[in-house]
Amino acid sequence: MNTQLPKDGLEGLKQNWKADALSGFLVFLLALPLSLGIAKASEFPAAMGVLTAMIGGLVVSFFAGSRLTIKGPAAGLITICAGAVTEMGGGPEGWHLALGVIVVAALIQIVFGFLKFGSLSDFFPHSAVHGMLAAIGLIIFSKQIHVLLGIDPATLKGLEPLELYARIPDSIMHEDIRVTFLGILSLVIIFGMPLLKGKVFKRIPAPMVVLLVTVPLAWIMDFKHTEPAFDMVQIGNFWGSVGFNADFSMIGTFVFWKYVIMFLFVNSLETLLTVKAIDGLDPWKRISDYNKDLKAVGIGNAISGMLGGLPMISEVARSSANISFGGRTRWANFFHGFFLLVAMLLFIPVIEMIPNTALAALLIAVGYRLASPNEFFKTYKIGSEQLVIFVTTIIVTISTDLLMGVGAGILMKFFFHLINGAPVRSLFKARYEKTQTNGEYHVKVIDAAIFSNLIGYKKLFHSFEPGKKVIMNFSESKIVDHTFMEALYHFQEEYQHTGGQVLTLGFDNFRAFSNHPLASRKFDPYKQTRVEIKLDPRQVALRKFSEENDYSFYPQKVKSVMKYKDFPIEIGTRIRFEENVLEKYLEEGRLTISDITLTEGAGQAEQNTQLTVMLISDTGLTIPDFALEPESLWSKLSELTRGKDIDFSDHQQFSKKYYLRGQDEPEIRRFFSQEVIEFLENAEEMHIECHRNKLLFYKRRSILDAYEIKLLENFGAHFLTSAQHAVNTKKILL
């Protein structure tokens, strides 16, 4: 549990090379098959996807404005790349001409970085962006399902997504059974591994497991000689084909500039959104330089396009994995590129044994994550109007193209804002009054706070000095949308990390569009936002439990507070919401039990986990910071990145049962007295964390019922008794 801010540059390499090299290697295992699959689906030579990721790691790492993002090809650009190659003639000719488009778009992207356009991503409503990505997921599936079934891709050339969906029954009738078997087996691995219990299974990259299974099977089944060439990855003379490959001969045509705009728009937008999301997961809460990162990606895209590679972005799934694997600095991205270089130098014959049906399965899984039913459900939970925008974007994107789809989503968003009372004068202008008195900022928001004027409000947020109190008053507003609420939430989190405080007033007469804490809301003097909460069966049981055990009970879902700040549970995650709060004061301190929503990953790789935690504060004890968790295979593997295990030679049972870490080892050893250790040896396994003399307990990563909560309370009370004895004994000895 290292809270020291990692250094940058060469000092950062010396300080963190073990952690970053390990994370870089694990990300490489994830990136290799995905890069091959994305390139192939994009109508590029498969190995050029690996070239893109190599450049993203070996080159872009030195210019990037973000510390933990992984640069490489992304599924979100497949449809644009494939469309550009096809419309420009297809085959090698279309590939070379598409490279010219990428280079020109990259040069403009660099200029955008210098012009500080990094904040423009705030203009696009989240529902439209997610709708665009969901449409891309559906398009990916429409193409890759045929590859998984062993159908010759040449027979599908020129077919639109709806036509490809219509061809699925015919492809099933003409499937290659042996190829389909490996494809379905790959899908079982990809979707089955997350269901396995144990942290080690969640940390092993599923794409690499797919290759470890399918490559030997393809070799045993002699795919090289019994299946058509299109069923296997073809690398050929990779190093001989790397050179100046871009062709600019169509630069004067409409189609050339259409794809320049599409590359520039989607590439920049996905990059900026990923950097923003990964900043929220950074254990050290470092803030990236968006404009610098935009320039860095532009440099990478220019080099990649010239040499034959795909456009790259800050890729969300690999970046999330980098944090999960313990990456600390930009050197993790560098090492990921280095291992890809080694693979292309030494293992091309092995790579050519990969069956394309396995890569198709990986891309189908990516497409599913982009357009899963859960994405529709999550959008609906925010508000029905968000779902309309989301679905509109999907339908128009699939029917036309990405730009038209996003444009339709934005127009639908404007339509909803206008009918809900947003004045035309405030659609693009942030109207507010800002005053400062007695060290406090008072902001009166006027008319509307929505996605299209968010850039003005972001400038306002940046104008506040750190460590102050900010009061945002919405009593004179007509409408506040979800995009603004999300931005306000992130601003509250970031500003609180500087020691400041953000309060909101004036929402009493607003009607929220859903029960989601960040839902859009409009002014309605006849309806209070304090709706009567209908308790579910578990909440009814918790209310009864609170009455029987002298707790105060608050079932409402609220945005997370700062009480969990810097606890190890937040490493690589965000605590977004808290609900079902049980609270009481004991002689020993303040006891708070609640359900928290823990967010891991970002974007379509985002996963929410609800768990019940108990926080004991105001104990009056001085306790060293530490983290204790039941020992597992993953905890042993994580010693390189998360600190060594503190063992006790005279307590072997405890040392085998628990993984204990912390910076101040002498103080931790003094605190873990014989009485504390014996209690932990004989009690059920528990996760315990301490930060600034506050103790956090949780049994497992799921919610607990009333009976289990009582056991959790008893565990905390007994542990606290042992801890008090240990601290008092230490005082006597001193």
| 436-488 residue pLDDT tens | 988 899 999 999 999 999 999 999 999 999 989 999 999 999 999 999 998 99
Give yes or no: residues 490 and 359 share one domain: no
Residues 350 and 467 grouped into a single domain: no
pLDDT at 732: 41
Rounded to the nearest angstrom, the gap between the alpha carbon of residue 639 and the centroid of all alpha carbons in its chain is 24
The position carrying tokens 């529709």 is 376
- Mean pLDDT of all residues in 285-295: 91
Between CA 625 and CA 662 the distance in angstroms is 6
Calpha distance 623→55 (Å, rounded):
47
Spatial distance between the Cα atoms of 95 and 84, rounded to a whole number of angstroms:
8
Q: Tell me the H-state helices in 347-503.
A: 348-351, 356-371, 373-382, 384-399, 402-419, 454-463, 482-497
- The mean per-residue pLDDT over the stretch 249-253 comes to 97
List, in order, residues 6 or more apart from 35 with CB less than 8 Å away: 49, 50, 52, 53, 72, 73, 340
**Same domain as 106, residue 76:** yes
Mean per-residue pLDDT, 604-627: 88
Does 3 map to a domain?
no
Rounded to the nearest 5 degrees, what angle is found at the Cα of 348, between the Cα atoms of 342 and 349? 140
Residue 88 lies in a domain: yes
Whether residues 161 and 263 fall in one domain = yes
Which residue has better confidence, 272 or 202?
272
Pairwise pLDDT comparison (555 vs 344), residue with the higher score: 344
With residue 689 as reference, give the H or E element that holds it.
strand 687-691
Of 414, 348, 368, give the one whose Cα is nearest residue 128: 414
Q: How many CB atoms lie within 10 A of CB 504?
A: 16
Distances (CA, A) of 711 to 206, 375, 600, 696, 717: 36, 36, 27, 15, 10
Indicate the number of domains in the chain.
Answer: 3
How high is the pLDDT of residue 733? 43
CA distance to 32, 58, 221, per residue, from 486 (Å): 34, 34, 52
Which residues make Cβ contacts (< 8 Å) with residue 335, sequence separation at least 6? 20, 21, 23, 24, 25, 28, 57
Please report whether residue 198 resides in a domain. Answer: yes
585 close to 605: Cβ distance less than 8 angstroms: no
Residue 565 confidence (pLDDT) above 90: no
* pLDDT for the residue numbered 727: 63
**Res 641: pLDDT:** 60
In a domain, 6, yes or no: no
pLDDT attached to residue 531: 44
Q: What are phi and psi of 709, to 5 degrees?
A: -65, -40
Residue 96: closest CA among 154, 44, 41? 44
Residue 246: half-sphere exposure toward Cβ, Cα within 13 Å: 21
Query: Using CA atoms, how far apart are residues 229 and 356, in angstroms rounded to an integer?
Result: 10
CATH number at residue 492: 3.30.750.24
Last-in-domain residue among 336, 364, 399: 399
pLDDT score of 513 more than 80:
yes
In this prediction, residue 121 carries a pLDDT of: 74
The whole-angstrom separation of Cα 7 and Cα 14 is 9
**Same domain flag for 199 and 287:** yes
What confidence tier does 734 reach under pLDDT thresholds 50, 70, 90?
very low
Q: Are residues 292 and 321 in the same domain?
A: yes
Is 302 a member of any domain? yes
Residues 310 and 210 in one domain: yes
**In terms of residue numbers, what domain contains 471?**
424-523
Planar angle of CA 213, 217, 223, nearest 5 degrees: 135
* Residue 606 belongs to a domain: yes
pLDDT of residue 64: 95
Q: Is the pLDDT of residue 642 over 50?
A: yes
Q: What tens digit of pLDDT does each residue of 19-41 get?
A: 999 999 999 999 999 999 999 99
Instruction: Classify residue 575 by its DSSP letter.
Output: E
Average pLDDT along the chain: 90
216 residue type, one letter: P
At 319, the amino acid letter reads S
Q: For the packed helices 316-324 and 254-281, what is the interaxial angle rounded to 10 degrees?
A: 20
Residue 160 lies in a domain: yes
Instruction: Give the CA angle between residues 24, 26, 29 to the nearest 5°.
Output: 110
Longest Cα–Cα distance of the chain, Å, equals: 84
Given this model, what pLDDT does residue 355 score? 97
Kindly give the interhelix angle for 78-87 and 91-114, rounded to the nearest 10 degrees.
Answer: 130
The mean pLDDT value for 42-59 works out to 97
SS3 category, 443? strand
C-alpha–C-alpha distance, residues 155 and 339, integer Å: 36
| Residue 420: how many other CB atoms lie within 10 Å | 20
For the chain, the 3-state helix, strand and coil shares in percent, each to the nearest 5, are 60, 15, 25
- pLDDT surpasses 90 at 119: no
What is the model's pLDDT at position 530?
45
What is the pLDDT at residue 2?
A: 52
Q: Per the confidence metrics, is the pTM higher than 0.75? A: yes
Q: 273-282, 293-302, 391-400, 542-551: lowest mean pLDDT where?
A: 273-282
Which of 42-56, 234-248, 614-628 is least confident?
614-628
Residues 381 and 307 in one domain: yes
Which of 362, 384, 399 marks a domain boundary?
399
Q: 661 - beta bridge partners?
A: 627
DSSP 112-126: HHHTT-GGGGGGS-H
Residue of 281, 276, 295 lying closest to 129 (CA atoms): 276
Show the DSSP H helices in 193-289 as ranges.
199-203, 206-220, 223-226, 238-241, 254-281
Strands 573-585 and 590-600: antiparallel
In whole angstroms, what is the distance from residue 140 CA to residue 604 CA? Answer: 15
Backbone angles phi, psi at 3, to 5 degrees: -90, -5
Q: Quick one: pLDDT at residue 603?
A: 67
> For 213-233, what is the mean pLDDT?
95
As a whole number, mean pLDDT of residues 140-165 equals 93
Neighbouring residues of 229: CB distance < 8 A, sequence distance ≥ 6? none
CA gap 274, 313 in Å, rounded: 9
596, 678: one domain: yes
Buried b (16+ CB within 10 A) or exposed e, 35-62: bbbbbbbbbbbbbbbbbbbbbbbbbbbe
690 contacts 671 by C-beta, under 8 angstroms: no
User: Which range is most confident: 115-119, 194-198, 603-607, 637-641?
Assistant: 115-119
Of 497, 523, 549, which closes a domain? 523
Same domain, 641 and 505: no
CA gap 344, 483 in Å, rounded: 43
pLDDT of res. 263: 95
Residues 49 and 101 in one domain: yes
pLDDT band (50, 70, 90) for residue 222:
very high
Contact 689, 570 (CB under 8 A): no
∠ Cα 21 22 23 (to 5°): 90
In a domain, 529, yes or no: no
Amino acid 573: pLDDT:
82
Determine the Cα–Cα distance for residues 39 and 384; give it in Å rounded to an integer: 36
Regarding whether 393 and 325 lie in a shared domain, the answer is yes
More confident of the two residues 562 and 630? 630
Tokens of 210: 């797919």
How many CA atoms lie within 13 Å of 227's alpha carbon, on the beta-carbon side? Answer: 28
Q: How many residues does the chain have?
A: 734
CB–CB of 263/102 below 8 Å?
yes
pLDDT at 528 over 60: no
Residue 1 has pLDDT above 80, yes or no: no
